[in-house]
Amino acid sequence: MAAPASPPAEEMAAPAGAAAEEAAEEEAASEASGERLPELLEAGWRLLEEVESGAEASSGAASVQRKVQRGIALLERAAAAVAQLDLFSRQEELEEVASADVRFLLVPALLGALVLRQAGGGGGGERRLEQVRRARGCFLDFLRLCRDYGAGRFAMPPDDPHDDPPDPAPHDPARQHDALLAMAHARQAKIQRYKQKKERENRLASLKTFIDSGQAEEEQIREFYMLQITKWINVSLEEIESIDQEIAILSRRDALKQGTAARPSHASRPPMKPFILTRDAAQAKVFGAGYPSLATMSVDDWYEQHRKRGALPDQGISQRATAGTEEQQKDQEEVPEEEEDSVWKAREWDDWKDVHPRGYGNRKNMG
């Protein structure tokens, strides 16, 4: 009995990337199957870090979008579990929250970061507008939790980017001074956050080694997640600012599209032929004889023609708009063919004179 043929080498060497991705999917599914809150948070957080640190983090590749969708599903279940367990309350202080539960404050911020990395999809600008608004809501939920627990000092963004009331007195010096002070404070706060960012990242990297090894003490665990909360407060404020700018751009683009679709198409006016405006008919004959390629018109003729079209200042604009184009088109249609031929002949003669100046052919016996 013949031994079964071994599969070709190409079939045995399956792509390592596809196998690793399938393994990651199975691991994520197995972690989520138990619906345990810590595993849901860690799995969704890990997928976010993979998306941010990967070479295709800024692209809409299918592999990246699969990770984004899996992370969103995991963190949505984690948010539902946090709400069901009623872990956080406005009546308690941050010190009263257990060190193992502080990390769950991060769920809405991580969810917003993943929602923001979704591809636009087939809905165009409307689909993207829906995504950024949802991400903004997630970041706002996280900032409200931090504000209620006093986790950081920061100015809350408005619930809606269009909720800012207009300034009733834009030229009031006192209000302008207050606005300049607010801008200066915001700039100083950004500079301070930037200076603290490097120090915080170094401290997080040193604490993460203890967290991953399972040897961290309770104080180290709490410090690690409190630093993460501070980090994500800054990230949320920056992301909301960028989202508001993107919402304004998307809304303006949609308004321009609607305006272009509703704008009626206007027929282009035919170009006017040049002519010489003379004082009277006698002068028109003189200039007409000297410049046969240009039409001549006296002031009286010009006035009579514009009066018929209703284009004079004392005749209004409505009559000019309705009759002007038709009269011009009719006048151009009535131009005889002989005049057109004379115009072309005159132009050809002018072109020939430009190339052949006077005395061009008289070159005989000139040494």
Q: What is the pLDDT of residues 99-109, one digit of tens each?
A: 889 999 999 99
Residue 15 CA, chain-centre distance (Å), reads 37
b/e map of 225-246 (b: 16 or more CB within 10 Å)? bbbbbbbbbbebbebbeebbeb
Spatial separation of the C-alpha atoms in residues 360 and 353, rounded to whole Å: 10
Spatial separation of the C-alpha atoms in residues 284 and 294, rounded to whole Å: 11
b/e map of 279-290 (b: 16 or more CB within 10 Å)? eeeeebeeeeee
b/e map of 161-175 (b: 16 or more CB within 10 Å)? beeeeeeeeeeeeee
Domain 26-160+217-260 listed as CATH 1.25.40.540 = yes
- Tens digit of each residue's pLDDT (9 = 90 or more) over 36-85: 999 999 999 999 999 998 765 555 688 899 999 999 999 999 999 999 99
Spatial separation of the C-alpha atoms in residues 68 and 113, rounded to whole Å: 10
Residue 15 has pLDDT above 50, yes or no: no
User: 155 φ, ψ to 5°?
Assistant: -90, 125
Spatial separation of the C-alpha atoms in residues 60 and 117, rounded to whole Å: 9
Asked whether the beta carbons of 105 and 146 are under 8 A apart, the reply is yes
- Tens digit of each residue's pLDDT (9 = 90 or more) over 184-227: 877 777 787 777 788 889 899 989 888 888 888 999 999 999 99
Spatial separation of the C-alpha atoms in residues 111 and 78, rounded to whole Å: 10
So what's the pLDDT on residue 181?
A: 81
Q: Which of 339, 246, 331 is nearest to 288 (CA)?
A: 339
Asked whether the beta carbons of 278 and 298 are under 8 A apart, the reply is yes
Q: How do the domains of the chain map onto residue ranges?
A: 26-160+217-260, 275-353
Weakest-pLDDT range from 27-36, 228-237, 250-259, 279-288: 27-36
User: 97 φ, ψ to 5°?
Assistant: -80, 135
Q: How many residues does the chain have?
A: 367
Residue 155 has pLDDT above 90, yes or no: no
So what's the pLDDT on residue 331?
A: 54
Instruction: Count Cα atoms within 13 angstroms, Cβ side, for 73.
Output: 13
- Tens digit of each residue's pLDDT (9 = 90 or more) over 41-51: 999 999 999 99
Global pTM exceeds 0.75? no
Q: Own/partner pairs for 158-167, CB < 8 Å, 24+ apart?
A: 161/136, 161/243, 161/244, 161/247, 161/248
What would the two tokens of residue 290 be? 């000297």
Spatial separation of the C-alpha atoms in residues 127 and 123, rounded to whole Å: 5
Asked whether the beta carbons of 156 and 143 are under 8 A apart, the reply is yes
Spatial separation of the C-alpha atoms in residues 276 and 357, rounded to whole Å: 27
Tokens 């005749």 sit on residue: 315
Q: Which of 146, 149, 148 is nearest to 237 (CA)?
A: 146
